[in-house]
Amino acid sequence: MLSKSILKSSVNLFCCLFVLLSITKSNGQNTTYNQFWSEIQFNQTISKKWSTEIDFGAAYSSTESSSNLFENTIQRSVRGWGHYYFSPRLKFSTFLAYYNNKDVPEIGQFESPEWRFALQGIYYFHKTGYTLSTRARTEFRYMKNQDDDYENVIRYRQQIKYLQPLNSKALREGVVYAVASDEIYLKSGTKVTGESFFDRNRFNIGAGYLFTDNIQIELTYANEYLPRNSGNQFTNALSLNLSFNNLMRNIKKRILENIHKDSDDE
């Protein structure tokens, strides 16, 4: 009953926001950008209930005069996570991150360093052959505006995500999977991010592959719609994520195994 209620509430929220978004009017000319997003993730298990994670990200973008998606380096970031697995269906997370925003089209293409803190919860609906999840995240952002003053921005994100293994019933070594998600962003109005209540809508679709149980890669296409007072912005992005689980622990284990093997051979 709880899972059905959570799913129904998430779907209702998305429907309401899409209706409101569709009737929102903005003045100005629409602009489209092509971008490339990359992220490398290192996850470390601490116990059955806890894990940590550190991410390194980079983003590149085209400009109004060039369609090359690597024309500008617009952002670099580092995030440190803590994850708590309350149950097999529910995970709580928090992170602290630093974003070096530079020439970001959505905030006016000026340098805007940012500290970000977030609280997040994910509820999983595990079904035979696929997994459906809903994610809620609240972000507290401390960003520099074009007047060199720092502003506080609060942003709420709600996501629905679908993941399905294609050559197996479960995610494991050698499995290819399909993934699709849609996410609504809502924010407080500020000078640095604009006064609009709707920040954006992001749709992702793509696939991933598990090289081992601890190493996987994911390649997706993302389409973003950003309503802005100066004109709507559309972003087409290619996103590449590489994840490592317990990397140092596995390397240490492999080294020790090789040492023991060499000793046995002698």
Predicted confidence at residue 20, as pLDDT, reads: 44
- Specify the higher pLDDT residue, 4 or 245: 245
The strand pairing partners of 214, in sequence order, are: none
Q: Which tens digit of pLDDT belongs to each residue from 132-177?
A: 999 999 999 998 887 888 889 999 999 999 999 999 988 999 999 9
**Residue 165: closest CA among 203, 118, 130, 138:** 130
* pTM to 2 decimal places: 0.83
Locate 154 and state its tokens: 């609060």
Helix boundaries (H) for 24-171:
none
Q: Which tens digit of pLDDT belongs to each residue from 214-265?
A: 999 999 999 999 887 777 889 999 999 999 999 888 887 777 767 766 565 5
Distance CA(242)–CA(247), nearest Å, equals 12
Sign of CA dihedral 68, 58, 117, 162: positive
Name the phi and psi angles at 89, rounded to 5: -100, -20
**Residue 83: closest CA among 129, 135, 132, 130:** 135
